[in-house]
Amino acid sequence: MLWSMMEISIDCPHCDSPVHVDGPFLKLECGKCHSGIDFPKDVWKDTLDDVRGDVSGYQKGEGSNSNIFGHFNMRMTYGRLDPYCLKCKRDFDMKDEYTEPATIICPDCGTVAPVFPASDWFREAVPGAALILGAWPEGKSGPESEEKKSQPVAYSCPQCGGSLMINGEERLIQCQYCSTNIYLPDDLWLALHPAKTKNRWFIGFH
């Protein structure tokens, strides 16, 4: 099987923030303004038209980067790479046939990667596409990413100096000692809510 790694991001048509396209999805959501964004099948077709042909001409590890101005302002990286564990970089032992969604567990670090047969619309849009790895099938969410499970952070109440544990659920909190309402400062809030990292996923072609 010929594998291509994919990294795609688009500018949100509503607020211009970058939105990572973490898999072959027809609907995305902007993490900043929370607008729903349609990513139509025809746009997938135009976007990935050349990928199979290009990748088959590449050596392993070769790829290309492009900026596309069309239906979306888009940045795309793809290249010839066999699927590997994104955490510890170990190559996965792939079977060539997966007839239903499955998960691969990295034997070294235990990271779970989903693999599933490309859906019918995706096969029509991108001829030769057979398997998708590293993206969660549409409508199913994966395990909470590590970014989301941030640890509570200690913070001193600016009013009374009391030590508070901040878990990042609410930005406006009340001090448990002096009852002052505290609006958490930007740096603390950003530390609790780091920007989502770009997700790399893979397409396996026949």
Instruction: Check residue 160 for interaction with Zn ion (CB under 5 A).
Output: yes
**CA 74/CA 67 separation, integer angstroms:** 6
**Contact call for residue 103 and Zn ion (CB under 5 A):** no
Name the residue among 19, 34, 4 with its Cα closest to residue 198.
Answer: 19
List Cβ neighbours of 181 (8 Å cut-off, separation of 6 or more). Answer: 172, 173, 174, 175
Q: Which of residues 8-27 bind Zn ion (CB under 5 A)?
A: 12, 14-15, 17
Beta bridge partners of 96: none
Q: How many residues bind Zn ion (CB under 5 A)?
A: 24
- Which residue in the set 105, 112, 165, 178 belongs to the binding site for Zn ion (CB under 5 A)? 178
Place of tokens 């567990």: 105
Helix (H) or strand (E) holding 53: helix 51-56
Question: How far apart, in whole angstroms, are the C-alpha atoms of residue 22 and residue 31?
Answer: 12
109 binds Zn ion (CB under 5 A): yes
DSSP state of 190: H
Q: Minimal distance in Å, beta carbon 123 to Zn ion? A: 29
The neighbour count for residue 166, using CB atoms within 10 Å, is 19
Among 49, 88, 148, 195, binds Zn ion (CB under 5 A): 88
Binding-site member from 73, 111, 119, 150 for Zn ion (CB under 5 A): 111
Site track for Zn ion across 31-50, x = CB under 5 A: -xx-x---------------
Instruction: Assess 28 for contact with Zn ion (CB under 5 A).
Output: no
Report the interface residues with Zn ion, using CB under 5 A. 12, 14-15, 17, 30, 32-33, 35, 85, 87-88, 90, 106, 108-109, 111, 157, 159-160, 162, 175, 177-178, 180
